[in-house]
Amino acid sequence: MGWLDERKSRPQVIPGMTLGTLMKVLARNGFCVDPDCLWRLAHLVALGVLNSIYGRCETFFNSEEIDAVQIEQHPLFVIGHWRSGTTHLHNLLSLDDNFNSPTAYQASFPHHFVFSQAGGTIFNWIAPKKRPMDNMAFSSDTPHEDEFALAAHCTISPYMRILFPITGDSAYSELDPERLSRDKLEKWKASIVLFMKKLTLSGSGRIVFKSPPHLGRVATLLEFLPRAQFVHIVRDPYMVYMSTKKLWKDSLGYAHLQVPSQELVDQLILTWYKQLFSLYLRDKDKVPAGQLYEMKFEDLEARPVETLRSMYEELHLPGFDKLEANLVNYLASIKDYRKNVHRLEESDREKVRTHWFDTFERYDYPL
């Protein structure tokens, strides 16, 4: 079974679908689930029953107060390809009391987290203490990707390709929002607005989202969130490639309901990277002045305080002096953290150079 060895099984990365939602997604993919993955489907079905029950409870007890929420501030979006340092940056920004980042529990269970927030205790009992792909600390309160919430709530996300890497869940897993039908695009927009309302009800501060697919949605996000701001972080493409392979192998691969070849996964990594950067460059000039900041992961790692201060000044964000003290304490707490060491074969190096040459040139990374 290779990557799918049950002895190394891990929790699903998209655990938040209701049973009805799960059935619709399965039907879209012809109920094509590989026999080796049936135990995963059983897990999702059991979670789907619980999500349906708690979702009904939230609708009954909380829907009026959720509907009444007004979004006063448009979000700050951390954008960048997977394994480019988006998580590290998101964690640093979450130290700012002016911000409100979705937690792992909220992003995992978008249908009912307002009603069931006490469930974070159970989440911590079940979930791994560290993320399998990079050994970073993980808990119900850890800042997390909003993309997992969108995937579970409206099922319009490239992450549906994680569940169905072979059938692909076409028409629902597009990277380019312009390729979505009008009704799907409006459903996706409604989903993110609803998630923002729930986050606003559950916490205070300006929302900070972090999702790699948002790299290809900048213009679409500005259509209905015109005051949104974006921080784009880039990293050495060689490191991104090796780290993304590990992400699929050690985390995303355990969510598949179909068993892909390693060649297919590799092709997805290479093509998604090119497509996302192409979409970002297509839309980048549409961002108004003062609403976009670009940084390199290497700068953030080497000079975190100076890099974030520059970002705050460029985007006119308040409160950096207060954040700086929190940064110093947090960085001291993770000083013993060691990143994964990747061995890059020459064949991989040539592959990355060939497919991602433009990024090396544009951001001045050595070939």
Distance set, CA 33 to CA 3, 39, 50, 152, 244 (Å): 16, 10, 22, 18, 24
Is residue 130 pLDDT above 80, yes or no?
no
Give the pLDDT confidence of 248-293 residue by residue, as tens digits. Answer: 999 999 999 999 999 999 999 999 999 999 999 999 999 999 999 9
Give the pLDDT confidence of 142-184 residue by residue, as tens digits. Answer: 999 999 999 999 999 999 999 999 999 999 999 999 999 999 9
Report the predicted TM-score, pTM, of the whole model to 2 decimal places.
0.93
Using CA atoms, how far apart are residues 204 and 221, in angstroms rounded to an integer? Answer: 22
Is residue 1 pLDDT above 60, yes or no?
no
Is residue 80 pLDDT above 90, yes or no?
yes
Using CA atoms, how far apart are residues 247 and 217, in angstroms rounded to an integer? Answer: 22
Query: In a 3-state reduction of DSSP, which class is residue 144?
Result: coil
Percentage of the residues of the chain whose pLDDT score is greater than 70: 91
Span 283-308, average pLDDT: 97
Lowest-confidence segment of 31-35, 105-109, 330-334 by average pLDDT = 330-334
Using CA atoms, how far apart are residues 71 and 89, in angstroms rounded to an integer? Answer: 24
Using CA atoms, how far apart are residues 138 and 131, in angstroms rounded to an integer? Answer: 6
Helix (H) or strand (E) holding 143: none
Radius of gyration of the chain (CA): 20
Lowest-confidence segment of 17-26, 119-128, 131-140, 141-150 by average pLDDT = 131-140
Using CA atoms, how far apart are residues 269 and 175, in angstroms rounded to an integer? Answer: 13
pLDDT for 335 equals 75
- HSE-CB at 112 with a 13 A cutoff on CA atoms is 22
Strand partners, 79: 232
pLDDT for 272 equals 98
Fold assignment, 2-362: Rossmann fold (3.40.50)
Strand partners, 337: none
Span 89-108, average pLDDT: 96
Using CA atoms, how far apart are residues 188 and 13, in angstroms rounded to an integer? Answer: 19
> What mean pLDDT value characterizes the chain?
92
